[in-house]
Structure 1
Amino acid sequence: MEETRPINKLFDLLDDWRHLPAYQLERRADIFFALYLDKIIKQKKDTEIDYIIPEFPVRVGEISEKNPHINQSFKIDYLAYAMAAERVFLVELKTDQRSRRDKQDWYLQRTAQVQVKGILEGLKKIYKATHQKVKYNYLLDKIEKIGWISRTEKTFVISNINITPEILYLQPLNLTNDDAVISFDDVIAALSTTDDELAKRFIVSLEKWKSNVNKIVKR
């Protein structure tokens, strides 16, 4: 018997284990979406993406009028920047159609309202308060390469930026034809012309991941 190829075994495990009650597919599969995210957004928004930063921190106090003192952050799955078009996308990945939450939607909407400059103002306050300076320095180096900030010895100066981010939800289905939703069918379309083994096997799993794991399947 021919041994199962590692790439097939990897996706076979994801296909199987996503049906288990405590298994979080998003945390394991996000790297595959990230690998092709520039192509996915190009397919949906006709925009060339230059930079992608995962788990981008947004200061809660910056978007909450009731709690402006809070230096804790929530994380955006991916922040994507198209330099030529001057477009910023806040991308939220959901591998379960039912996992959208009103509170999270509110966080994203408020983040878009404070614009990129407000996001960076909040990041400056987090950086001042955090004890994880090494990791935040790595993040700031990436942001400086984008051109949004200039580093100083202990802080940074924010450039004159006037960009309102756009929210994108990367999820199994787009039931309302919402322009802010990238469905897995959109992802499949974006990858259909990509001639590499990983993309082809990813498409096979995406077809399965469109289905509701909570729906009873006849055996």
Structure 2
Amino acid sequence: MVKKVGDEKQIKFFTILIVVLLMIFLAVAIVLKNKEFIYYDAILLPLVLLVYVLHRKLRLHLPILGLIWFVFLMHAAAGVMFFQGMRLYDMVFWIFKYDNIVHFFGIFTVAFVVYNLIHTRFSDRCNLGNLYLFLILSLMAMGFGTLIELVELIGVIWLDAGAGVGDYMNNAIDLFYNALGAIVGAGIITYYHNRKYFKKNILKD
């Protein structure tokens, strides 16, 4: 019980911290007149609050919430942080664009969120095998990735942000990294989901 109370205090603290940081990123985006990231930040802020309100019902414990918050900050920072005159969103790390990394890690995280919602159907006594678990997690996470692309499309149409978002090839590459993140996340979960360490630290049953 003490540990759960401690976790709840940490969750509340980090939720407030993330909201403050997102508000700062939103303010910077407004100053820069970056309509695309004003739009994204305006979506992320209520999402953070929604996740906090629903985190118990959705079984989202501190490790999973940490992944979600990190992804939100990665995305929000992309359009307003600059290093040596280059926007973070435009930076390339080896052969990977920053945006590729955000899409990969974002949908990787979604796979863990999905597992938290459905894991009771894949207990040790369940007849459903690892292949089904892997397929369900992968496809559901990919589906969420497609939803994100639709949200991005709305921004392109509404804000005329096509120049910032990119063309069809950029969209296809986003979907590729979404799929890759889903597959890697689902693979890790499928391999470890019956192990005590995983259940204790990720699910905290």
- Whichever of the two has the greater Rg, that structure is 1
* Normalised TM-score (structure 1): 0.29
Higher strand share: 1
* Normalised TM-score (structure 2): 0.31
Higher helix share: 2
